[in-house]
Amino acid sequence: MSEYEKVLLTKARKGDANAFEMLIMEHERKAYNIAYRFLKNPEDAEDITQEAFLRAFRNIKKFKGQSSFSTWLYRIINNTCIDFVRSKQNKNVDSIDKTIRYEGEELELQIPSDENDPVETVETIEISELMKSMLDQLPDDQKMALVLRDIQGFSYQEIVDITGVGMGTVKSRINRGRIALKELIEQKGELFSDYIVK
């Protein structure tokens, strides 16, 4: 953590809203992107991002500095997204604690991102929409794990820090999510064949 960030944190802990705003400024876009990729709705993502920032400001005194500020902030984004979905759907998200093996094979899914990409063809739009709808079919914990890993590019350790679950659980959620997406993709035929790497 830089000295500048430490100064801002000290001021924010004393209730300085301007210092807190400066502190989150560099994380604002990524925080919104996490919420948007999870919720698939720009208005909801904006609302959730703002709600998460309010939660962070209210709880800034609890931040102990054991992780980076960004990891702490993204964990709040993660939890706020899941709380929103739970309240909207009124359903619980089950935790997955077992390691899963799938025929001794590891699967990697490369999900295309539409961030800053020019729309080149109707097929690209179709693939993007189908991929989003497939992600929406996954349990929330698997969906968030895949958003953080395959779309946002966080490391496994960062996802552990953000979600607050163990490494085995993170790997299990990612693995199960990828397997479920692979099965959905196979149902759609060759349209998605370029996105699976074995």
CA distance 138 to 144: 9
pLDDT of residue 130: 66
pLDDT of residue 124: 52
pLDDT of residue 147: 85
Task: Annotate 113-156 with DSSP letters as a single string.
Answer: P-TT-----HHHHHHHHHHHHHHHTS-HHHHHHHIIIIIS---H
Question: Could you count the other beta carbons within 10 Å of the beta carbon of residue 26?
Answer: 11
pLDDT of residue 38: 86
Could you tell me the mean pLDDT of each successive run of 10 residues in the chain, 198 residues long? 83 88 89 88 91 91 82 89 79 39 45 44 55 80 86 86 88 89 73 45
Structural domains of the chain, ranges and CATH numbers in brackets: 3-89 (1.10.1740.10), 108-197 (1.10.10.10)
109 three-class SS = strand
> What are the contacts of 57-61 at 24+ separation with CB within 8 A?
57/12, 57/17, 57/20, 60/9, 60/12, 60/13, 60/20, 61/13
Beta bridge partners of 108: 197
Is residue 23 a contact partner of residue 12, using CB atoms and an 8 Å limit? Answer: yes
Q: ∠ CA 54-59-64 to the nearest 5 degrees?
A: 135
